[in-house]
Amino acid sequence: MRVVIFGAGGVGLGFMGDLLSRAGADLVFADVNSALVASLARRGGYTINKADLRKVTSLTIRKVDALDTGSGSGRARLVEELAAADFAITATGAKVLPLVGRTVGEALREVPERPPLNFLCCENHRDAAGLLRDAVAEMLGRDEAEVRCGFVNTVVGRMCQNLTRAERDLPPLTPDLDTVILVEDYDPFPVDAGALRGRAPAMPCLEAIPSDQFRAYEHRKLYAHNGVHALLAVLGKRRGYEYFYQAAQDEAIDRLGRRAMWEETGAALVRAHPQYFTEASIDAFAADLYARLTNPVFADPVDRGARDTLRMIRPEDGRLSGAALFVAAQGLEPRAMSLGVAAALLENGLGLEGLSEAFAEAPREAAECVRGCVEQALHRLHRGEI
């Protein structure tokens, strides 16, 4: 099995590479970082560090090659690799994905006829597969893009950190690089089965989920995972904490995080998707997730979770505003999540007007509920209650 992975970052190297190496796959990383590409290709492997709740374990990923998509020779070789690949993965971040899509489209113009190629999209975005499809279609046309490719949304639950040796004294990616990859020991990898062309890839831990059920899994990731992670981050940052586990040791923040996880997003998931989630299953998921979010061994930096707070309240991401609106749409009051929304507004010098786009796309009653909760949250933050 040969797989092209676009993006040699935390998720590509630390999650996809880890899972695929267990199946003995040949991995080809495509990236524009020429020094990183050269080191991976020269070494033919790399090291990651995996944290559970007790310790960090280092492991080596082998059967690795890499190409530089920023060079002419790398783009030429990409044509050969896409012709031979069993499937491809994108793990570049949503901002870069349109560029990757155009690069893919250009390469596919030169690829001889072959079975449809599935692209598993691992970006933290509401519809990464749609972003990639639109960019490939710019080069091939919509009909040809959809005939030749499967554009598949996924849920990436494993958290990954891309660090330096100064930040964490752990084995580096390769001996000649300063990069340290630290990831969670968490393997589930749901993908949207309805978007796949042909059979699901033979990849360890991949769960091909019917599209209706996959939507429920997406909501769980976007709102319970991303939303509560962002809430802990913005509140932890306001109080000057460096790591998530330190923020969770603050009684007020911990109380709000737990309310957001269990009473708000967790309860809303059960109401929204009773055919897929029960109170018991969500309780077990929430307990595991909250322990991972606040794991002192993983030591997730608050700054990593609090990057680009404006994006967190805009519709294209909306992990804070989206979570609050999702909770409200299920007839619950998102008081904890609204504190996260309010903190993000204040950080960006905004008031309620900063939510106009998010409210425009939401049901009226849910928008009014969130508006009221956020207004109260702004008053609380101005008074210094949190």
Per residue in 166-217, pLDDT (tens digit) is: 999 999 999 999 999 999 999 999 999 999 999 999 999 999 999 999 999 9
CATH of domain 213-382: 1.10.1040.10
Total residues belonging to the chain: 386
Handedness of CA 288, 292, 296, 302 (dihedral sign): negative
pLDDT of residue 126: 87
Q: Residue 316: pLDDT band by 50, 70, 90 thresholds? A: confident
pTM score of the predicted model: 0.95
232 HSE (CA, 13 A, CB side):
36
For 6, 13, 282, 303, 376, the CA distances from 155, given in Å and listed in that order, are 17, 16, 16, 23, 33
- Cβ contacts of 317 within 8 Å, gap of 6 or more: 124, 125, 126, 311
318: pLDDT strictly greater than 90: no
Q: What is the DSSP letter of 265?
A: I
Query: What CATH superfamily is the domain 2-209?
Result: NAD(P)-binding Rossmann-like Domain (3.40.50.720)
Q: What gap in Å lies between CA 292 and CA 184, rounded to an integer? A: 8
Cβ count near 17 (within 10 Å): 28
**Cα angle, residue 313 at apex, residues 307 and 318 outer, rounded to 5°:** 90
In this structure, are residues 334 and 368 in contact, taking their beta carbons and an 8 Å threshold?
no
- Domain locations along the chain: 2-209, 213-382
pLDDT of residue 104: 98
Q: What gap in Å lies between CA 44 and CA 64, rounded to an integer? A: 5
- How do residues 15-53 score in pLDDT, each as one tens digit? 999 999 999 999 999 999 999 999 999 999 999 999 999
pLDDT of residue 167: 96
In this structure, are residues 260 and 333 in contact, taking their beta carbons and an 8 Å threshold?
no
Q: What gap in Å lies between CA 247 and CA 241, rounded to an integer? A: 6
- Cβ contacts of 84 within 8 Å, gap of 6 or more: 2
Domains 2-209 and 213-382 in one fold? no
